[in-house]
Amino acid sequence: MAGAGAGAGGTVTLAIVHKLLALFAIVALGWLAGRQRWLAGAGGTGDAGMAARALSDAAFYLFVPALLFRTMVRLDFAALPWRTLAAFFVPAVAYVLAVYAWQRHVQVRAPSSAATPATRTIAASYGNAVQVGIPLAAALFGEPGLALHIALVSLHGLVLLTLLTVLVEVDLARADDTATLASTVRASVRNAVIHPVTLPVLAGLAWNLTGLGLHPVVDEALAGLGRAVVPVCLVLIGLTLAQYGLRGRLRGVLAPTALKLLVLPALVLAVAWGGFGLSGVPLAVVVMMAALPLGTNALIFAQRYDTLQAEATTAIVFSTLAFAATATLWLGVLAWLGSRAGG
């Protein structure tokens, strides 16, 4: 790992900076579209909020399900590096549950929307594994590291999004004061399964087990829809910024940003290194996966449940800016561990 981190040097730093600048450029275009009401309909009579809701619905009900379904159908479970995956997902799931429990405790003291605990949890846990993570892994670790990162990405949504979806749907069902225990359980199960995230994942897994694969036409159609997720979500961030702005919201995102960029990677490092015995490139890949800034799914989640949209947007922007510094920190820690192992 020391050689990989040191050899990449300034080229890696420049590649990261270029990728982050490209992301901010697309977000800025979305913000401009919101300010100028380019997506507000005929005569510009709508507003950024209406456009953001339309884009969010398109992403949540069309583009993201297509991406998840295709990913699950094409996944080769036999070839997955299960030890490396466990080294990431065991601490990540424990972390998500701990943050969620903390948010539930906070909600008891300060009542809010039933969807608030899960929405704040995703804002402290769900990394930008595609737009930032893939080019970062390719630049830092080459083809072997990128293959490991792609394996993590393939299960990222399945594990974390599904878990958070179940948690929020249970909270929403429990918030219905007129519901009985049986109806709460039924509503929780139904809404958690018949859901734009969970259902395509389960359907894709079921289709995967048949071994039939996808017809080329279907595969290309799903791939085209999936490719729309990244630009649509980045434009959505810009539109939400135009609607809410950042002023006065930074204080509320400091804690989730610190959790995402510092606590989660530290936990994954401790478990992967001390518990699973990972070292070298596999260790570096799982730690940098955990260290990624907040992903756009946090905003889609907030839009879906109509809560904390402004906070989610601010957290995405702020964590992405802060990542330029924290990525250097974690690469330094990994290089130090690598030098100790080599010595």
Q: What's the pLDDT tens digit per position in 142-163?
A: 778 877 887 888 788 778 888 8
Range of the domain at 33: 2-342
Tens of pLDDT, residue by residue over 77-93, are: 777 889 999 999 999 99
Q: What pLDDT shows up at residue 47?
A: 60
Provide the CATH number for the domain around residue 136.
Answer: 1.20.1530.20
Is residue 99's pLDDT more than 70? yes
Helices (H), the chain: 2-36, 48-58, 64-74, 82-109, 116-122, 133-156, 162-174, 181-193, 198-210, 216-227, 229-244, 250-258, 264-270, 280-290, 297-304, 309-342
Nearest to 160 by CA among 197, 209, 204, 215: 197
45: its two tokens: 């009579």
**CA atoms of 290 and 306, how far apart (whole Å):** 27
- Residue 17 burial (10 A CB sphere; 0-12, 13-18, 19+): exposed
Contact assessment for residue 149 and residue 137, using Cβ atoms and an 8 Å cutoff: yes
Q: Lowest-pLDDT range, 155-159, 219-223, 317-321, 337-341?
A: 337-341
CA distance 299 to 315: 9
pLDDT at 165 over 80: yes
pTM of the model: 0.74
Amino acid identity of 315?
A
According to DSSP, residue 60 is labeled I
Taking Cα atoms as reference points, which of 260, 261, 250 lies closest to residue 314? Answer: 250
Residue reference for tokens 């017809």: 215
Cα gap 325→165, rounded to integer Å: 31
Q: Residue 272 — pLDDT band, cuts 50, 70, 90?
A: very high
CB environment 205-240: b (16+ within 10 A), e (fewer):
eebbeeeeebeeeeeeebeebbebbbebbbbbbbbb
Buried b (16+ CB within 10 A) or exposed e, 34-43: beebebbeee
Which distant-in-sequence residues (6+ apart) come within 8 Å of 289 by Cβ? 88, 127, 129, 133, 137, 149, 152, 268
3-state secondary structure 162-216: HHHHHHHHHHHHHCCCCCCHHHHHHHHHHHHHCCCCHHHHHHHHHHHHHCCCCCH
State how many domains the chain has. Answer: 1
Lowest mean pLDDT among 162-176, 228-242, 257-271, 301-315: 228-242
| Residue corresponding to tokens 């992403």 | 59
Asked if residues 122 and 180 have their Cβ atoms less than 8 Å apart, the reply is: no
Beta bridge partners of 277: none
